[in-house]
Chain A
Amino acid sequence: MAETMAPATAPHGAPHGADGSGETRRDFLKLTTGAFAAVGVGVVVWPFIHSMNPARDVLALSSTEVDLAPIAAGQAVTVMWRGKPVFVRNRPPEEVQAARATPLSELKDPQPDQARVQRDQWLVVLGVCTHLGCVPLGQKSSDPKGDYNGWFCPCHGSHYDTSGRIRRGPAPLNLAVPEYTFTSPTQIRIG
Chain B
Amino acid sequence: MAIGLHDSTFTNPVIRWIDQRMPVFTMMQKEYGTFPTPRNFNYFWNFGALAMVTLMIMIATGIFLAMNYTPHTAYAFDSVERIMRDVNYGWLIRYVHMNGASMFFIVVYIHIWRGLYYGSYKAPRELLWILGVVIFLLMMATAFMGYVLPWGQMSFWGATVITNLFSAFPIVGEHIVTWLWGGFSVDNPTLNRFFSLHYLMPFVIAGVVFLHVAALHITGSNNPLGIDPKGPQDTLPFHPYYTVKDSVGLVVYFIVFAALVFFAPNYLGHPDNYIPANPLVTPAHIVPEWYFLPFYAILRAVPDKLGGVLLMFGSIAVLFILPWLDTSPVRSMRFRPIAKWALFAWLIAFFALMWAGGKPAEQPYVLISQIATAYYFAYFLIILPLLGRLERPLSLPESIALPVLRGGGPLPAGAVAKPMEKA
A residues near B, CB below 8 A? 1-2, 5, 33, 46-48, 50-53, 55-58
Q: Is B245 an interface residue (CB 8 A)?
A: no
Given contacts A1-B33, A1-B34, contact A51 B87 (CB under 8 A): yes
Closest Cβ of chain B: how far from A57's Cβ, in Å? 4
Residues of B within 8 A of A5 (CB): 236-237, 241
Docked pose: A56 CA to B86 CA in angstroms: 5
Nearest to B89 among chain A residues (CB) is A47
Residues of B within 8 A of A48 (CB): 60, 64, 89, 93
Docked pose: A26 CA to B64 CA in angstroms: 38
Residues of B within 8 A of A53 (CB): 88
Chain B residues numbered 24-68 whose CB sits less than 8 Å from any CB in chain A? 29, 33-34, 60, 64, 67-68
Closest Cβ of chain A: how far from B95's Cβ, in Å? 11
Closest Cβ of chain A: how far from B28's Cβ, in Å? 12
Residues of B within 8 A of A1 (CB): 29, 33-34, 237, 239
Closest Cβ of chain A: how far from B60's Cβ, in Å? 7
Docked pose: A157 CA to B90 CA in angstroms: 43
Interface centre among A2, A53, A56, A57 (most CB of B within 10 A): A2
B240 in contact with A2 (CB, 8 Å): yes
18 intermolecular pairs with C-beta atoms under 8 Å apart:
A1-B29, A1-B33, A1-B34, A1-B239, A5-B241, A33-B247, A46-B89, A47-B88, A48-B64, A50-B88, A51-B87, A52-B67, A55-B87, A55-B88, A55-B90, A56-B86, A57-B82, A57-B86
Q: Is B392 an interface residue (CB 8 A)?
A: no
Residues of B within 8 A of A52 (CB): 64, 67
Q: Is B92 an interface residue (CB 8 A)?
A: yes
Docked pose: A53 CA to B241 CA in angstroms: 41
B64 in contact with A51 (CB, 8 Å): yes
Q: Is B21 an interface residue (CB 8 A)?
A: no
Residues of A within 8 A of B239 (CB): 1-2
Contact digits for B389-407, partner A, Cβ 8 Å, 1 yes 0 no: 0000000000000000000
Docked pose: A74 CA to B33 CA in angstroms: 76
Closest Cβ of chain A: how far from B403's Cβ, in Å? 19
A47 in contact with B93 (CB, 8 Å): yes
Q: Is B85 an interface residue (CB 8 A)?
A: yes
A51 in contact with B33 (CB, 8 Å): no
Residues of A within 8 A of B236 (CB): 5
B residues near A, CB below 8 A? 29, 33-34, 60, 64, 67-68, 82, 85-90, 92-93, 236-237, 239-241, 247
Residues of A within 8 A of B89 (CB): 46-48, 50-51
Docked pose: A53 CA to B89 CA in angstroms: 10
Nearest to B85 among chain A residues (CB) is A56
The 9 closest A-B pairs by CB, nearest first: A47-B89, A2-B240, A57-B86, A56-B86, A55-B86, A50-B88, A55-B87, A51-B89, A51-B88
Docked pose: A103 CA to B236 CA in angstroms: 82
Nearest to A37 among chain B residues (CB) is B247
Closest Cβ of chain B: how far from A38's Cβ, in Å? 14
Residues of B within 8 A of A47 (CB): 88-89, 92-93
Residues of A within 8 A of B88 (CB): 47, 50-51, 53, 55-56
Given A47-B92, A48-B64, 11 more pairs with CB closer than 8 A: A1-B237, A1-B239, A2-B241, A5-B241, A48-B93, A51-B64, A51-B89, A52-B67, A55-B68, A55-B87, A56-B86
Nearest to B65 among chain A residues (CB) is A51
Closest Cβ of chain A: how far from B37's Cβ, in Å? 12
Docked pose: A47 CA to B87 CA in angstroms: 10
Docked pose: A1 CA to B29 CA in angstroms: 9
Docked pose: A51 CA to B85 CA in angstroms: 12
Residues of B within 8 A of A58 (CB): 86
A51 in contact with B82 (CB, 8 Å): no
Docked pose: A136 CA to B237 CA in angstroms: 67
Nearest to A36 among chain B residues (CB) is B251
Docked pose: A51 CA to B88 CA in angstroms: 5
Closest Cβ of chain A: how far from B15's Cβ, in Å? 15
Docked pose: A51 CA to B95 CA in angstroms: 14
Residues of A within 8 A of B247 (CB): 33
Closest Cβ of chain A: how far from B419's Cβ, in Å? 18
Closest Cβ of chain A: how far from B168's Cβ, in Å? 42
Docked pose: A53 CA to B88 CA in angstroms: 7
Residues of A within 8 A of B86 (CB): 55-58
Given contacts A1-B34, A1-B237, A5-B236, contact A51 B90 (CB under 8 A): yes
A51 in contact with B93 (CB, 8 Å): yes
Docked pose: A33 CA to B240 CA in angstroms: 13
